[in-house]
């Protein structure tokens, strides 16, 4: 097996979590637990107690030492570690990390591994005296520059490639880094009187934010997407699966009401080579970049369902060069209905235990209906005296 630079063992680094915390002079740890609603929760735990696990309701959240990240840029002596909830000693099937692990086990059963890179966009905003939200410091960029410099310094050594990008790595590690990234930029922005938002579209008719995930498949250290003629048949099948399942995938990678105000309704599209910035799936080199989602997506669930959809395309021999891509759902409710009809994506959500897909769909539907029940200013302006 060929060992790549990212896979190579690191020497002279403390192995256990307690050793690593002691070496970094860590006194407190943010124990992160990703919930089934995609929103991570954190508990601040003394460093000498975290290895015992953190009690969350009826679950014991067990720390994953491989996810340990010092956060001295936030506060000296602080670190973060991601935890895996367990019930009666067994993994909790609703935990997003458990769902992604189950999908990676499926890959391993086929002799495959995956790498995932990411680019997460966010906006820096401020509230005025009346609570209205505006882009922060549009004319004076010094404060924004200082914020970005802080973020870059804090992420050095964690696969950071600048401007919201993380280099391809083991999928669980990339998802962990994205959760940490969202927390870090929000804390550092708040220090400078700004708010960092990953909301898909906080301003009507203006630039929105997105989440790009770059996926690649490997076997024995060799990438499987490229071949001597460009992209391999396996790569085309993987891209075809992503396009075919794009309507149902939207419910996971674009999981909020606001997600569907990011772009006008359209068909899922793809491109090969070049930049292809306007396409939802872009093939090139050793990876396929997916631009269906936004920063509100849970990175564990998003990665799990994208891998499952791609594999289904490989197995079914779906070719993106044949025909048009499907129409994307115009609202969250439409996306939830697409999810209900897509067995492949539902099965991926249920990979660690049955019932997750139904629970997820119920939560997203309730969110849509809660939004729909609100009376907006647009309705007042349009209908108050219209009849």
* CATH code of 76's domain: 3.10.20.70
Per-residue pLDDT at 11: 42
Per-residue pLDDT at 37: 74
Of 92, 120, 137, the residue that ends a domain is 92
Residue range(s) defining the domain that contains residue 50 = 24-92
Per-residue pLDDT at 244: 97
Q: Does a structural domain hold residue 379?
A: no
Per-residue pLDDT at 9: 41
Please check whether residues 40 and 140 belong to one and the same domain.
no
Please check whether residues 177 and 317 belong to one and the same domain.
yes
Phi, psi of 78 (to 5 degrees): -110, 145
237: helix, strand or coil = helix
Please check whether residues 57 and 116 belong to one and the same domain.
no
Please check whether residues 327 and 207 belong to one and the same domain.
yes
Other CB atoms within 10 Å distance of the CB of residue 38: 20
Please check whether residues 188 and 320 belong to one and the same domain.
yes
Q: Does a structural domain hold residue 361?
A: no
Please check whether residues 130 and 66 belong to one and the same domain.
no
Q: Does a structural domain hold residue 248?
A: yes
Q: How many structural domains are present in the chain?
A: 2
Give the H or E element holding residue 106: helix 96-109
Phi, psi of 170 (to 5 degrees): -55, 135
Both tokens of 258, joined, read 């606001």
Please check whether residues 177 and 230 belong to one and the same domain.
yes
Q: Does a structural domain hold residue 10?
A: no
Q: Does a structural domain hold residue 47?
A: yes
Per-residue pLDDT at 268: 92
| Conformational region of residue 271, where left means phi above 0, alpha means psi within -120 to 50, and beta covers everything else | beta
Please check whether residues 82 and 132 belong to one and the same domain.
no
Please check whether residues 87 and 229 belong to one and the same domain.
no
Please check whether residues 53 and 194 belong to one and the same domain.
no
Strand duo 270-272 + 281-284: pairing: parallel
Q: Does a structural domain hold residue 291?
A: yes
Q: Does a structural domain hold residue 144?
A: yes
List of the chain residues with pLDDT < 50: 1-12
Per-residue pLDDT at 151: 86
Please report the DSSP string for 294-350 in residue order. -TTS-HHHHHHHHHHHHHHHHHHT--TTSSPPPBPPSSHHHHHHHHHT-HHHHHHHT
Of 92, 113, 140, the residue that ends a domain is 92
Please check whether residues 200 and 341 belong to one and the same domain.
yes
CB-CB contact of 270 with 239 (8 Å)? yes
CB-CB contact of 177 with 166 (8 Å)? yes
Of 46, 73, 92, the residue that ends a domain is 92
Among 339, 329, 332, 338, residue whose Cα is nearest residue 371: 332
Please check whether residues 221 and 281 belong to one and the same domain.
yes
Q: pTM surpassing 0.75? A: yes
Across the strands, what pairs with 60? 55, 86
Q: What DSSP character marks residue 374?
A: S
Q: Does a structural domain hold residue 365?
A: no
Cα gap 240→296, rounded to integer Å: 25
Among 103, 99, 42, 51, residue whose Cα is nearest residue 71: 42
* CATH code of 334's domain: 3.30.590.10
């Amino acid at each position: 097996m060929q060992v790549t630079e990212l896979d190579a063992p690191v020497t002279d680094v403390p192995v256990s979590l307690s050793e690593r915390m002691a070496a970094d002079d860590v006194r407190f740890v943010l124990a992160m637990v990703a919930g089934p609603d995609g929103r991570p929760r954190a508990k601040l735990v003394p460093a000498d107690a975290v290895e015992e696990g953190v009690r969350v309701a009826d679950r014991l959240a067990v720390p994953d030492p491989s996810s340990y990240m010092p956060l001295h840029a936030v506060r000296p002596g602080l670190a973060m570690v991601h935890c895996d909830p367990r019930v009666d000693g067994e993994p909790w099937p609703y935990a997003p990390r458990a769902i992604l692990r189950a999908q990676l086990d499926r890959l391993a059963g086929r002799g495959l591994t995956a790498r995932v890179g990411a680019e997460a966009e966010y906006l820096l905003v401020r509230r005025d005296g009346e609570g209205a939200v505006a882009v922060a410091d549009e004319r004076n960029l010094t404060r924004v520059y200082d914020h970005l410099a802080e973020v870059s310094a804090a992420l050095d050594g964690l696969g950071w490639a600048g401007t919201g990008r993380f280099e391809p790595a083991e999928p669980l590690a990339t998802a962990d880094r994205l959760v940490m990234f969202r927390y870090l930029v929000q804390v550092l922005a708040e220090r400078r009187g700004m708010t960092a938002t990953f909301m898909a579209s906080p301003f009507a008719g203006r630039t929105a934010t997105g989440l790009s995930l770059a996926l690649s498949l490997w076997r024995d250290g060799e990438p499987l997407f490229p071949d001597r003629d460009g992209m391999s048949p396996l790569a085309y099948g993987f891209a075809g699966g992503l396009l075919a399942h794009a309507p149902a995938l939207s419910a996971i990678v674009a999981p909020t009401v606001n997600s569907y105000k990011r772009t006008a309704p359209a068909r899922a599209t793809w491109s090969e080579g070049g930049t292809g910035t306007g396409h939802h799936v872009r093939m090139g080199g050793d990876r396929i970049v997916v631009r269906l989602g936004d920063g509100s997506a849970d990175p564990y669930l998003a990665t799990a369902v994208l891998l499952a959809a791609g594999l289904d395309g490989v197995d079914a021999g779906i070719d993106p060069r044949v025909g048009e891509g499907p129409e994307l759902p115009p609202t969250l409710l439409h996306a939830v209905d697409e999810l209900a009809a897509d067995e492949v994506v539902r099965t991926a959500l249920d990979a660690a235990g049955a019932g997750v897909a139904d629970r997820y769909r119920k939560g997203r539907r309730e969110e849509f209906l809660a939004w729909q029940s609100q009376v907006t200013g647009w309705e007042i302006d349009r209908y108050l005296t219209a009849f």
